[in-house]
Amino acid sequence: MNEVTKLLKVADEELKYISLKDLCEKHNVDLNKLPHTVKILLENIARRVDGKDVKDSDVEALATWPNDKDSSLAFMPARVLMQDFTGVPAVVDLAAMRSAMARNGGDPKAVNPYVGVDLVIDHSVQVDNFGHADSYEKNLELEYERNAERYALLNWAQQAFKDFRVVPPGMGICHQVNLEHLGHVVQKKNGWALPDTLVGTDSHTPMINGLGVLGWGVGGIEAEAAMLGQPMFLPKPIVIGVRTIGSLPTGATATDLVLTLTEKLRAHGVVGKFVEFFGDGLSSLSIADRATLSNMSPEFGATATLFPVDQVTLEYLRMTGRGEKVELVEKYTKEQGLFREDGDVEPKFSEILDLDLSKVVPSLAGPKLPQQRVNLSDARKSFDDNFKVNKNEGKTIKHGDVAIAAITSCTNTSNPSVMLAAGLVAKKAVEAGLKTKPWVKTSLAPGSRVVTNYLKKSGLLPYLEQLGFNLVGYGCTTCIGNSGPLPEEVSKDINENNLAVVSVLSGNRNFEGRVHSQIKASYLASPPLCVAYALSGTFLCDLSKEAIGQDENGKDIFLKDIWPTPEEVHELISSSVSTEQYEYEYGRIFAGDDKWKSMASPKGDLFEWDKDSTYVREPSFFVDLPKDPAPLRDIEGAKIMCLLGDSITTDHISPAGSIGKDSPAGQYLIEQGVKQKDFNSFGSRRGNHEVMVRGTFGNIRLKNQMAPGTEGPWTTHLPSRKQMSIYDASLKYQNENVPLIVVAGSAYGSGSSRDWAAKGTNLLGIKAVLAESYERIHRSNLVCMGVLPLQFKEGESIESHKITGLETFNIIGVDGGVKPGQDLNVEMIREDGSVVEFAVTLRIDAAAEVDYYEHGGILQMVLREMQS
C-alpha cells in the first residue's frame, strides 16, 4: 500500500481506500474547499497511478485544483450503463471485434468488458395501443414481435460476456432503474472501497448524480472503449457551484424547478462543465427532486450535475431496499469528506450561481427546445408567437389543439411527488365531471414498475385510467419519438389542413420532429399539467385563469379547483410508497417474463451473423482492417454535403423515428423483402449499418442550405447541380473519390448522445465537420469515428466567410500528424476560381484523441492493440 492508502473497517471486513484527507494534507490542500466532483475525480486517478495514463504530477495538479497547470485526467468509470437503442450497436461492435479476432487467429474472449455493464431494454416499446386496460400487454407483444432479432443478440451477449447483465423488456427505464436499484453510491471492488462512478450510452445518465453518484453520458463508441479498459481523457474540470436556498412554494413542482434551472444554466453557459449543488436549501429537496434536476444535464449542456451524499441519500437507500449499503456509504463518505451537512464550509468553485427555490413558478418549455421556458400564464402566447393561425380547420381537430398528452420519461416518472400529483388532478377532475377531449392521445409510461404499485395503493390509478391515461409500457415512449401513430381521423385532418397541433409531455426532449412527425409544437410539462391539457384539449387557452372545462351543471371548473395541495401529495407519499414495493420489483428485475426466458438465441463465444438479417449485420468497420493505420493526409478537393445553421442536434443527424417508404432506408428494406408495416423504427434497426447510413441526416425538419426551399434529407450534388437525397449524393461522391465536409453554426451536435450521428457521418464519406461550436459528446464521437471536428475562430462563421456551399475545400496541416488544439489552414476555392484562406481550430482536445484519429477510430486502435 502507498502512503495515502488506508483501511476501512465495515461490518466484518476491511477494505482498502485512498485517503483523500492524507492526499490533500500531502499537498497542503484543504479537503473541505474542494468540490465533491473534484474529490471523486481525484480519488479515481490517485488509485490508478501507473506512470502511463496517470502520473503523480496528474494527481498533484488535480489535488491543488484550481490552478494554472495545463493538465488532463484519465478517468476510468467503475461501471457502464446502456439502453437498448445505443446498447445494440455497441454489442454488435463487440461481437464484430470478436469475429475479427477469430479471423486473425486471436482469442475472441479477449474482447470482454473490463468493467461491469448493465443494459436495460427500455427504448423499444411504442404507443401503438392506448386508452384501454390491455394497452400495456398489446404494446409489449408488438415489442417482442418487432425486436426478436435484437433481443436474441442481447440474450447472446449476457451469456457470452462476463460482467454483462441485461434487464429485459417491460421492467423500466435505465436511468430510473439505475437510481432506484443499480446505483451503489460506494462500491466494493477487488478489496477496495471506492466511489460508484459510471458512464452511460444515453445523455440522461447524469440522473444518477442526484444520488451522489458521479456519472455522465457518452457516445456508444466511448462507452465501448471504457468497457475494453480504455480510460477517458478529460480536460481539467470546470465546476460551477449552484448555491441553493429556500424551498419550493405551493403550486410549484419539481418539473417547474427543472425547467427554470434549464433556462438559467443554458443562458449562463455550462457546456462541457460540471455543475454541483451546495447549500442548506438541499435539505428540502428529496432524492427524486434532485434526480429530476440532474437528469436534465444535457438539456442545459453540463457534463454532470452532482448532488453530494447526505442524510437524505441514506434515507433513500433504506427506502428503496438498499439498507445493507448504508453502513459502507456513510462511513466511507464521512471519512472522505464526501458527506454534506447543513452549515458546511462552502467549497471553492470555478463560478457560483444562486438558486432561490422559493421563486419557482408553474412552467412549461417549448415549442422546440427544452430551455424555452415559459410561465404557465404565457403558454398560449408562446404558441401564438411561433405559429400563425390556420383558418382551414379540420373536422376532428383544430389549430392549436393538443393531439398528444403523455406522462412519460425517466425525468419525471421517477418522482412520486409529481406522479401522485397527476393522480390527484385526475381524481378531482373525474369527481368534478370533467373528461379528456376525444382527439387527445393519452398515455402513461412510467420508468419503473414501482410507480404503478404506489398509484394502485393510493387508489389513484383508476382515475387516471378513466381519463385515458392507461399504462402503455415501462419505457421511453413519447419522449424519444415512440409515440405511435395518431388516430386516423386526427392524422388526416392535420395533413389535409396543414394544422399546427401540440404535444404536451412530461419528458426532457422536444426537438423539432422528435415527438411525432405530424406535431409542430411540443411542450415539456409536469405530469399534472399533462393531465390538465388533456382535459382542456387545446393550447389556445390560459390555464392559469381560464376554465379548464365545465361540470355536468355547466359550472366552470378551473385548474386551481383540481390542483392538489403539497400536504395532500406528501400524505399520499407517506401512505402509498413503501420499501416492500422496491424490494419486490427489483428482486425480479433481471428475470424477465416467459417470452424472454423462452426466447431462442445464439450461444457460444462468437455471434452467428445472419447475412439475411435486416436488424443485425456485421459492420464494415473491422472487416479487412489493416495491421497498421495509413499515414494521415490533408483533405483535398472536398465538397460540402450539408450547410447548416445553429443548434443542429443529433436528432437532426442520427436516424430516428419512423422509416419512410420512399426514403433510401425504406427502399432498402423493401428490396430486402420487408413490408412497410414491418419497417419498425430507425432506433430498433441500429444494429444494421445499411439501414442507418441511409437515414443519416434524414430528419424531416432538417434545413440544409445545399437544398434551398426543402426540408429533410436533401442536398445538391456538385458540379452536376442535381438535387437528390443525401445518401444518394454520398454514393456519387464516393464513386468520384470526392471527400465531403459538413459546415454548420453553433452548438453543433447538441442533444442525445447518439453514436450513429458520428457513425453515419463517417460512413457517408464525410471527413470533417466545421462548426462555430460543439456539444461535448458529439465532438468526442466524431473523433472516435475518425472524423475531424474543426471550429471557426471566434467571430468567424459561415456568414463572415460568405460560404454558399458551392466551394471546394482543402484542409491543410493534417499531413504527418496533428496536435491537440492546433490550427489548421483552410483553402476555400470559390466557383470563379478565387481562393480564400482562413485558420480553424482543430477540436481534437487531448493527446489520446490524436491516437484515435490516427487509427481511424478508437475501436480500431483497441483491436490493433489486442492483436499486437
- Looking at the DSSP bridge assignments, the partners of residue 825 are 812, 839
Packed helices 36-46 and 56-63: angle between N→C axes, nearest 10 degrees? 170
Angle, in degrees to the nearest 10, between helices 254-268 and 287-295:
40
- Whether omega before 719 lies within 30 degrees of 0, making that bond cis, reads yes
Contact 486, 141 (CB under 8 A): no
Q: DSSP assignment of 82-111, as one string?
A: EEHHHHHHHHHHHHHHHHHHHHTTS-GGGS
Buried b (16+ CB within 10 A) or exposed e, 777-790: bbbbbbbbbbbbbb
In 475-592, the DSSP E strands lie at 502-505, 521-524, 549-550, 556-557
- Half-sphere exposure of 535 toward its Cβ, with a 13 Å CA cutoff? 33
Cell 412510467 belongs to which residue? 446
Sort strands 722-725 and 274-278 into parallel, antiparallel or unpaired: unpaired
pLDDT confidence of residue 1: 54
Backbone dihedral region of 481: left (phi > 0), alpha (psi from -120 to 50 degrees) or beta?
A: left
| Cα 756 → chain centroid | 13
Q: Give the bridge partners for 766, in sequence order.
A: 740
Strands 13-18 and 72-75: unpaired
Under 8 Å between Cβ of 541 and 557 = no
- Which of 734, 744, 740 is CA-nearest to residue 766? 740
Walking along the chain (868 residues) 10 residues at a time, the average pLDDT comes out as: 88 95 96 98 95 90 89 91 90 95 93 95 94 96 91 94 96 96 96 97 94 93 89 92 94 94 94 95 96 94 96 98 97 98 96 95 95 96 87 85 95 94 98 97 97 98 98 93 93 93 94 89 97 97 95 93 96 97 96 90 93 92 91 97 95 88 95 92 90 94 94 95 97 97 96 85 97 90 95 97 98 95 97 97 91 94 90
The Cβ of residue 240 has, within 10 Å, a number of other Cβ atoms equal to 22
Q: Which pLDDT does position 733 carry in this prediction?
A: 98
**Contact, 121 vs 127, CB < 8 A?**
no
Local structure of residue 839 (DSSP, 8 states): E
Domain with CATH 3.20.19.10 in the chain: 620-867
SS3 295: helix
Residue type for position 291: A
Task: Reduce the DSSP state of residue 864 to 3 states and report it.
Answer: helix
Contact criterion met (CB below 8 Å) for 36 and 13: no
Return the amino acid letter for 462: P
Q: Which residue has the cell 429537496?
A: 285
pTM score: 0.88
- State how far the Cα of 632 lies from the Cα of 495, in Å rounded to an integer: 50
* Nearest C-alpha neighbor of 692 from the set 621, 742, 741: 621
Class of domain 79-359: alpha beta
Q: Please say whether the dihedral angle defined by the alpha carbons of residues 602, 109, 231 and 768, taken in this order, is positive or negative.
A: negative
Q: Are 575 and 581 in contact (CB under 8 A)?
A: no
Q: How far apart are CA 790 and CA 779, in angstroms?
A: 9
Name every residue whose Cβ is closer than 8 Å to that of residue 167 and which is 6 or more positions away in sequence: 118, 119, 120, 121, 122, 174, 177, 589, 590
Domain 620-867 has CATH 3.20.19.10: yes
697 contacts: CB under 8 Å, gap ≥ 6: 641, 642, 652, 653, 704, 713, 726, 760, 764
How many distinct helices (H) and strands (E) make up the chain? 32, 32
d(CA 306, CA 308): 6
Measured CA to CA in angstroms, residue 664 lies from 46, 412, 430, 714, 756 at distances of 51, 37, 48, 11, 16
Domain limits, CATH 3.30.499.10, in the chain: 79-359, 363-577
- Cell digits of residue 297: 444535464
- Residue 823: per-residue pLDDT: 97
| Closest CA relative to residue 194, chosen from 98, 84, 338 | 338
CATH of span 363-577: 3.30.499.10
Q: Does residue 37 contact residue 309 with C-beta atoms inside 8 Å? A: no
Asked if residues 330 and 218 have their Cβ atoms less than 8 Å apart, the reply is no
Predicted confidence at residue 67, as pLDDT, reads 87
Dihedral pair phi/psi, residue 245, rounded to 5°: -130, 160
> Would you give the DSSP letter of residue 174?
H
Say if residue 670 is exposed, middle or buried (CB neighbours under 10 Å; 0-12, 13-18, 19+). middle
Quick one: cell of 90?
Answer: 455497441
Q: How far apart are CA 442 and CA 440, in angstroms?
A: 6
Task: Kindly list the distances between the CA atom of residue 428 and the CA atoms of 40, 432, 463, 470, 542, in Å, as whole numbers in the listed order.
Answer: 46, 6, 9, 17, 20
Rounded to whole angstroms, the Cα distance separating 691 from 645 reads 26
User: Could you give the angle at the alpha carbon of 713 between the alpha carbons of 709 and 718, nearest 5°?
Assistant: 75
* pLDDT value for 753: 67
Tell me, rounded to whole angstroms, the distance of Cα 420 from its chain centroid: 26
Q: Is the peptide bond before 367 cis (omega within 30 degrees of 0)?
A: yes
